[in-house]
Amino acid sequence: MRSLGLERYRRVVVLTGAGISVASGLPTFRGPGGLWERPGATIVNASTMQSDPGRVRSLFDEMRALALRAEPNAAHRALARAEESLAARGSTLTLLTQNVDGLHQRAGSQNVVELHGSLFRVRCSNPACSTEPVLLAASHSGVASACSSCGATMRPDIVLFDEPMAAKPEWDAKRSLRECDLFVAVGTSGTVSPASNFVRSAAYAGARTILVNLEPMSPAHPDFHEQILGRAEDVLPRLLESA
Residues designated catalytic: 116
**Comparison of 113 and 124: residue with beta carbon closer to Zn ion:** 124
Q: Which of residues 112-131 bind Zn ion (CB under 5 A)?
A: 124, 126, 129, 131
| 104 and 16 Cβ atoms separated by less than 8 Å | yes
When the beta carbons of 122 and 210 are compared against Zn ion, the nearer one is 122
Give the total of residues touching Zn ion (CB under 5 A). 8
Distance in Å, CB of 124 to Zn ion, minimum: 3
- Regarding 47 and contact with Zn ion (CB under 5 A), the answer is no
146 binds Zn ion, rule: CB under 5 A: no
Q: Among 18, 93, 147, 212, which residue interacts with Zn ion (rule: CB under 5 A)?
A: 147
**51: phi then psi, degrees, rounded to nearest 5:** -80, -30
- What is the closest distance, in whole angstroms, from the C-beta atom of residue 37 to Zn ion in the complex? 34
Residues 148-187 contacting Zn ion, CB under 5 A: 149-150, 152
User: Biggest alpha carbon distance in the chain?
Assistant: 55
Distances (CA, A) of 7 to 82, 94, 107, 182, 212: 10, 15, 21, 11, 19
134-135 sheet: strands from edge to edge: 134-135, 117-124, 154-158
- Count of CB atoms situated within 10 Å of the CB of 5: 12
Binding site for Zn ion (CB under 5 A): 124, 126, 129, 131, 147, 149-150, 152
